[in-house]
């Protein structure tokens, strides 16, 4: 008698969660878990208008400012680095 066959759905390459890709041992990943993102959203979210063009999420903007400061990156270089580096 064969064992019970367990169906494991195939992971969609384009729907993989970031936590499944990056190493949790890196300092930048550890730092992201120590930041209270809900508090940042609460404090800074009030400065963004509800009407008009949808804004970039507050977490993204705060995270980019933090990365810009940590790695001494210019305004012009922060977005390309963020797009290319999943750790950012």
Mean pLDDT over 68-82 rounds to 90
- Alpha-carbon 86 to chain mean position: 8
CB contact at 8 A, 64 and 78:
yes
Q: Which residues does 29 contact at the CB level (< 8 Å), separation at least 6?
A: 22, 23, 87
C-alpha–C-alpha distance, residues 51 and 53, integer Å: 7
Question: What stretch of H or E contains 38?
Answer: helix 37-44
Residue pLDDT, tens place only, 4-46: 666 666 666 677 777 777 888 888 888 888 999 999 988 887 7
pLDDT of the residue at 41: 87
């Amino acid at each position: 008698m064969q064992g019970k066959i367990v169906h494991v759905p195939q992971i969609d390459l384009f729907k993989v969660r970031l936590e499944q890709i990056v190493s949790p041992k890196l300092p930048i990943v550890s730092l992201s878990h120590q930041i209270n993102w809900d508090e940042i959203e609460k404090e800074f979210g009030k400065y963004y208008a509800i009407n008009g063009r949808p804004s970039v999420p507050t977490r993204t903007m705060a995270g980019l400012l933090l990365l810009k400061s940590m790695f001494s990156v210019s305004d012009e270089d922060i977005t390309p680095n963020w797009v290319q580096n999943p750790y950012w």
